[in-house]
Amino acid sequence: MVPLGAYLLLSAVLFTLGAFGALARKSAVAILIGLELMFNAALLNAVAFWRYLHPQGFEGTVFAIVILAVAAAEVAVGLALFIAVYRRFGTADADDIALLRG
């Protein structure tokens, strides 16, 4: 049997990779990909906890469904923003969108 710790370890590794991607990447879409990795790591965590600790309950599954819905909404709005920003600035790099920089 796979111990719960294995799932949590995998989830932590994916979260770290996603955090690195969200912080280190240049293009806005690549940052979004890193964010999605983090969401998925959290989702895996939620489902693993549900299965190993309370498989008869529904809280874990409902939590996971809400995470899915929030991630979907966030990606939709984020990509709409990305396209609007691309139209305005002609570029998709997070470094070049620097109007507020002092």
Partner 1 sequence: MVTTFLFGLIALIMVLAALVAVTNRNLVRATMGLVLVLFGNAVLFVLLEAYFLAMAQIIIYIGAIAILIVFAIMLTRHVGEDWGPAFHRAWPWALVIAGGLGGALLFWMVRWPGGENTPAGQVDPNYVQALGQALVNPQGYVVPFEVASVLLLAALIGAIYVAWGGRRVKGPYPQRAEGGER
Structure tokens at 17: 């990779």
The smaller minimum CB distance to partner 1, of residues 35 and 102, is found at: 35
Lookup result for tokens 């190993």: 52
User: Shortest approach of partner 1 to residue 31 CB, angstroms?
Assistant: 10
Site for partner 1 in 10-39 (CB under 8 A): 10, 12-21, 23-27, 29-30, 32-34, 36-37
Site for partner 1 in 83-102 (CB under 8 A): 83-84, 86-90, 92-95
| Sign of the torsion angle spanned by Cα atoms 18, 24, 28, 30 | negative
The smaller minimum CB distance to partner 1, of residues 73 and 102, is found at: 73
Cα separation, 84 vs 19, whole angstroms: 25
Q: How far is CA 19 from CA 48, 56, 89, in A?
A: 21, 33, 26
Question: At 45, is the secondary structure helix, strand, or coil?
Answer: helix
82 binds partner 1 (CB under 8 A): yes
Site for partner 1 in 38-77 (CB under 8 A): 40, 43-44, 47-48, 50-56, 58, 61-62, 64-66, 68-77
